[in-house]
Each structure stands twice: as C-alpha cells, then as structure tokens.
C-alpha cells in the first residue's frame, strides 16, 4: 500500500455538478437513512454546539453559533464523517452572505483516513428540505394540493422542492415573511421553478389556516408564530426550526414525531424540547421517532383527520450520506481537486 494519502476537495460548484441539487436523489438518500436509523444501523453522538456573540442579537433571533455534527450510517452507504456548520443569522442583512456556511468531511470506514472535504452549505439545506419531503410522504394526506410556508429564506426553497418531489399533486402555495420583499422574490422564483401558483399572504394565520401541509422555517426563538387552533384537521405540520408554535399546538396534535428524541432534548431549541424542559411534554408523549415509521415498525398517517406534527432537529447521518453519494458521483465524473495530506507519515 502506498504511503501517499490524498483528499478530494469539492467546491460548491463541484458539489452541484455531482448532483447536489438533484432533490429526487437527496430525498431517496434521506429516506434510506431514516430506514437504517429505525433499524439501528448507525452511530450518532450528540452534536457539539458553541454559541457566542459580541453584540446582543436582535429580539427573537438566535445568537451566532457553530455546530460540529459527526455520524456513521451503515447499510450499503457504509460511510462516516462530520459536518461543521456555522449559523450567523445577520449575515444576509448586514454582509450579503448566507446565514449558514458549512464543510463536510468524509472518512474511510476501514482505515479512518479522510477521503473528501466539500462544501456542506448546499448539502445541509438540501437534506433539511428533504427531511420534510420524506415526512410528507408518510405523514401527509395523499390528496394534498395546498402548502403554506412561513419564512422566505433559502431553507423554504428546498422545503418546497422536496415536497413537490414526494407530493407531486401540490398545486398552490402561500408564503409569509416579515419582509414582504423576500416573500415576493420567493414567489417569483419558485413559481417558475416548480410550476406552482404561489401567493403572498399578509400574515402567518392566513397561511396556516388554509394549509394542508404547513412548514415553518424561521430563525425565531422567543415568540411563537403558529397559534393554537390554526391547524386544520388532516394537516401535516413540519416544525423545522426553533420556538415556532405555542405549546398548545403540540398538545392538541394527534401525533407528534421527532427524528432523534435524545438529540432534540440535548439541543434544547425546538418547541417540543422547551416543553420537555418545562414539564409539559414527557419522554413518552411523542408518537414515534420517524425512523420507526420509515422502517415499518409503526404506521404513519392512519386517517384523513389526524393533525400530525413532525419536529426534527437534524441528523448528521443525512449530511454524511448525501455527501457520500456526491463524493461517489464526483469520482466517477472526475470532479474536484486532489490535495495531498502526506507523502510519507512522519509518525506511525
């Protein structure tokens, strides 16, 4: 065996050329990972989250933070690595930069050697959208035609892309954002991309009451956006981010699902985690971890009247698995730059 070790570097453009924007493939990968999760074929430590801010953030917004998220997923994927992702909520408004920026590192599962380092910003937002898409496949009604979105950032774009993959009958969308110009830009872009009728709403209530699928993807952490009584019978609500709904919205759902309950509690970020902290949501109050549904251990939607809430925190398994498939495609297409890590190891 040669002592030379090379690592493949993939820029965001190369990630895209290797299928990073192929939402159908990302959805399929995320679904595969949920199935492996349900069968226990994974390793997933608690993510490390570091927060800091020189200035107090605007009311209701997160502090700047950096997460390190390792994971291993088995099956045919058999891949390991980690994502390092920084979230600086004021970047888009103050610096014309993305809120989130990320790198993903893949490691060989036999030797532990690094295989690739790639842009993870695109992969992260694609896999987060795909989680909601897979959620809708199992938890939304099959006949849905209307989706409502709160927040008009990049994340809502991939949420809608994924929903259109798994529920192709969607025809109409309503979007609300506290900045109307962002909602207008979203509607103009996504209506053309997905051939959908996208309307701009004046408030969150108007979106939620009409939605058969509702998605909240915001940076809100202090004042819930969705109020009790707004969700219609038979609706599916993807609670993507922080403190986005009143506690009673959760209390009055027929089923509440998470991706990994221990990670949800450890992150202490979403509404269900805050409810657990406050003694209003017990360890056995959620219906299932979603992998149990995908792996066939529990049924998903059982009738057209259930109000179902899915509140995932985000699994590094998805980042690593999507990055692995990007890596394999990049090798086939000859994409990326090989960087020498060492020619001969100095210490053995």
Catalytic residues: 83
Q: Residue length, the chain?
A: 348
Residues forming a β-bridge with 67: 49, 85
Please report, in angstroms and rounded to a whole number, the separation of the first and last CA atoms in the chain. Answer: 15
* CA 3 distance to own-chain centroid: 38
Residue 291: name the closest of 25, 23, 24, 31 by CA. 31
Please give the C-alpha separations between residue 66 and each of 125, 156, 204, 319, in angstroms, as whole numbers: 16, 21, 29, 16
Q: Each residue of 114-131: b (16+ CB within 10 Å) or e?
A: bbbbbbbbbbbbbbbbbb
Of all helices (H) and strands (E), which one includes residue 208? helix 204-210
Q: Work out the angle between the directed axes of helices 154-166 and 121-139 (0-180°, nearest 10).
A: 40
d(CA 215, CA 241): 10
* CA 224 distance to own-chain centroid: 20
Please give the C-alpha separations between residue 19 and each of 87, 203, 308, 341, in angstroms, as whole numbers: 24, 36, 32, 26
Of all helices (H) and strands (E), which one includes residue 309? strand 308-310
Output the CA torsion sign for 127, 129, 135, 137. negative
Residues forming a β-bridge with 258: 289
């Amino acid at each position: 065996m040669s002592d030379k070790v090379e690592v493949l570097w993939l820029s965001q453009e190369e990630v895209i050329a290797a299928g990073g924007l192929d939402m159908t493939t990302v959805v399929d990968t995320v679904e595969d990972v949920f199935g492996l999760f349900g069968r226990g074929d994974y390793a997933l430590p608690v993510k490390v989250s570091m927060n800091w801010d020189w200035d107090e953030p605007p009311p209701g917004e997160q502090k700047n933070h950096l997460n390190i998220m390792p994971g291993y997923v088995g099956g045919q994927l058999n891949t390991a690595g980690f994502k390092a992702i920084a979230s600086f909520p004021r970047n888009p408004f103050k610096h014309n930069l993305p809120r989130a920026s990320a790198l993903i590192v893949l490691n060989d599962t036999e030797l532990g050697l690094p295989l690739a380092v790639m842009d993870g910003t695109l992969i992260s937002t694609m896999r987060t959208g795909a989680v909601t898409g897979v959620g809708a496949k199992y938890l939304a009604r099959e006949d849905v035609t209307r989706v409502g979105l709160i927040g008009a950032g990049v994340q809502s774009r991939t949420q809608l892309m994924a929903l259109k993959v798994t529920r192709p009958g969607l025809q109409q969308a309503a979007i609300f954002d506290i900045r109307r110009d962002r909602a207008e830009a979203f509607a103009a872009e996504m209506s053309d991309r997905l051939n959908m009728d996208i309307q701009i709403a004046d408030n969150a209530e108007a979106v939620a009451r009409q939605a058969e699928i509702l998605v909240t993807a915001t940076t809100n952490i202090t004042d819930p956006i969705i109020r009790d009584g707004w969700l219609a019978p038979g609706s599916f609500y993807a609670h993507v981010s922080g403190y986005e709904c009143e506690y009673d919205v959760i209390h009055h759902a027929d089923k509440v699902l998470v991706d990994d309950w221990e990670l949800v509690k450890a992150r202490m970020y979403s509404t269900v985690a805050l409810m657990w902290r406050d003694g209003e949501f017990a360890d056995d109050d959620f219906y299932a971890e979603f992998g149990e549904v995908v792996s066939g251990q529990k049924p998903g939607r059982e009738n057209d009247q259930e109000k179902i809430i899915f509140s995932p925190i985000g699994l590094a398994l998805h980042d690593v698995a999507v990055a692995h498939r990007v890596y394999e495609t990049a090798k086939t297409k000859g994409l990326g730059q090989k960087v020498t890590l060492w020619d001969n190891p100095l210490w053995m």
